[in-house]
Amino acid sequence: MSDRIIRKLFEGRLKAWADARPTKLQIAYEDVAFTPPANGAACLKAFLLPGNTDSEDLEGKHTSYRGVFQVSVVTASGVGRGAAELIADEIAALFPNNMALTEADFAVFVRSPMATAGAIQGDTSTSLPLSFQYRADTF
């Protein structure tokens, strides 16, 4: 399935960037055990949200994979949104609209600018969700 490749490409780019930052960011991936930083430092949560797979030709050779890639920036509650918004700006620059990521003969495209949703505030942490739409086509 191409969802596996799409996840690998987006998560791989995110991890390379997070590891290369002066202040490295830990990333929580779907269905992988994760312990948040004990010191309340910022971390990320990554989600691939596939939509319905489609075909747009009569022969059935075309397959279109569409969905949303979401990254939540998690910071300590009560410290304001400044740090989370700076990280969000970096992530938006990492995944610009119309960017292509490829593996062999497969390509997935970022199909919308990064969007920020309303923050979700908890007792000890606040999550700032960011997301963009993607599309990949095979023939």
Half-sphere exposure (CA, 13 Å, Cβ side) for 59? 4
- Please determine, for residue 96, whether its predicted confidence score (pLDDT) is greater than 90: yes
C-alpha 8: how far from chain center: 11
- The per-residue pLDDT for 60 is 82
How far, in Å, CA of 138 to CA of 133, rounded?
17
Domain locations along the chain = 2-138
User: Which is nearest to 50 in space by CA: 18, 7, 107?
Assistant: 7
Check whether 87 has a pLDDT greater than 80: yes
Provide the whole-model pTM.
0.95
What is the architecture of the domain spanning 2-138?
Answer: 2-Layer Sandwich (3.30)
Share of the chain above pLDDT 90, in %: 90
